[in-house]
Amino acid sequence: MKEGIHPEYKEIKAVCACGETFTTRSTKPKLHVDICSMCHPFFTGKQKIMDAEGRVEKFKKKYAKKNK
């Protein structure tokens, strides 16, 4: 690798829109994010599957194991 051409990669404090802060590493001095693991629906367990036109039930019915 060539010397002196790579940016400095240092620890910074990232701030989420919900107010949560966490430490990470970046080449930028400040990092503001819209969503983090503390407020994202997938990680908080509040995610809802949007079932448009019964597709989930149709899939489950089609691939369900049938007992004989």
pLDDT of 61 over the 90 cut: no
Task: Give the ranges where the chain is alpha helix by DSSP (H).
Answer: 41-44, 55-63
Domain CATH number, residue 50: 4.10.80.400
Tell me the CA distances in angstroms from 13 to 1, 25, 31, 32, 44, one per residue in order. 28, 8, 7, 9, 22
Is residue 4 situated within a structural domain?
no
Provide the sign of the torsion angle of the four alpha carbons 6, 8, 11, 17, taken in this order.
Answer: negative
Quote the pTM value: 0.51
11-53 tens-digit pLDDT: 999 998 888 899 999 999 888 888 887 787 666 666 666 656 7
- Domain housing 20: 10-63
- Give the count of domains, the chain: 1
Position 49 scores a pLDDT of 63
- Look at residue 40 and give its three-state secondary structure: coil
